[in-house]
Amino acid sequence: MPATVLVLVETINDYLPILEHQGFHLILAPTPAERAEAISTHGERIDAVLTRGPLGLFADEIAALPALKIICVIGAGYEHVDLQAAADRGITVTNGAGVNASSVADHAMAMLLSMVRDIPRCDAAVRRGEWPKIMRPSLAGKRLGILGLGAVGMAIAKRAANGFDMTVSYHNRQHRSDVAYSFCSTPTELARASDFMVVATPGGLGTRSLINRSVLDALGPNGFLVNIARASVVVTADLISALEQRRIGGAALDVFDHEPQVPDALKSLSNVILTPHVAGLSPEATQGTVELVGRNLMAFFSGQPVLTPIDLPASASAMPPENNAAL
């Protein structure tokens, strides 16, 4: 009997035949209502779930899927997948880190260029019949700070250094000895060393609110912030305040706290560029992502190691008795 996969992701339909041709039976549930209905109606026969970080998979949903064996997350982030609940059930979790790095890096550079060169305002002016001579900074020779030097951060760094002659610094959980870029020990130090700063770190508790008022003040009134990672990394209220008071030069945002809702305060600002969480979307990235999901599923259901496993916390049953008692 083919494995049944519950698909919660709404942007990959054109590439789902990749999984169907591998023999998987798919149940599509891209809306909250369809998701709840699918789990209620088909929960007992769902072997795998395909989701993404912001959509997640929660403990009560995992409990309602008694046959669930593997959760495949599209993209690097898995912040709303309950890893403890998965670990307690012995459920494997995988992600797609790095597959869409080129697409995200392209979008980050496009947003940076658009913001620094003020392309939206120039475009709007020409459409109104105006011909303003707007003077804006060049990227060449500027200092770029990257928060999170994983696959996406590295792709951005290469584009900035090799394509735009920028000096690159980074802050990471650990210093990387395999790169020539300058390491900064804190986000504030990185901001102080940057003209432009790109957030490229995963979401989750470990990165929540890394960019706050003190970091934004260190970036300064001529500094620009780009976030193509997760909104949770930036304190939105602090960012709005910094933008309104011109304590930073501008921001380009592809991610928001309560998508698809975007704060009106951000929409009303002229020093902000907004896109609807599309940095990782390209035909190439989407196909590669679904192909990786297929390889992980094929490996798992044939008894082989998955390609991109996520480290899970210790299961409750494996904890010492005193720790179990505290749960």
Q: What is the pLDDT of residues 244-292, one digit of tens each?
A: 999 999 999 999 999 999 999 999 999 999 999 999 999 999 999 999 9
**189 and 262 together in one domain:** yes
Residue 158: which CATH number? 3.40.50.720
Query: Please, are residues 225 and 199 in contact by the beta-carbon 8 Å criterion?
Result: yes
Domain extent at residue 128: 101-274
The residue whose two tokens read 């890394």 is: 210
- Helix count and strand count (H, E) for the chain: 14, 12
Are both 106 and 219 inside the same structural domain? yes
Give bridge partners of residue 145 from the DSSP assignment: 169, 197
The residues of the chain scoring below 50 in pLDDT are 324-327
For residues 67 and 91, is the Cβ–Cβ distance under 8 A?
A: no
| Model pLDDT, residue 326 | 44
Q: Please report the pLDDT score of residue 61 as a whole number.
A: 98
Same domain, 134 and 219: yes
183 and 317 together in one domain: no
Tokens of residue 146, six digits: 């990257």
Token output for 244: 């309104």
Catalytically annotated residues: 230, 259, 277
In this structure, are 68 and 124 located in the same domain?
A: no
Q: Are residues 194 and 166 in the same domain?
A: yes
Q: Is residue 219 located within the same domain as residue 171?
A: yes
* Cα–Cα distance measured from residue 236 to residue 105, given in angstroms and rounded to the nearest whole number: 22
Tell me the two tokens of residue 194: 């940057």
- Return the pLDDT at 316: 76
Total domains in the chain come to 2
Q: Do 44 and 26 belong together in one domain?
A: yes
Neighbours of 240 (CB within 10 A): 17
Let me know whether 111 and 248 are in one domain.
Answer: yes
Q: Are residues 149 and 24 in the same domain?
A: no
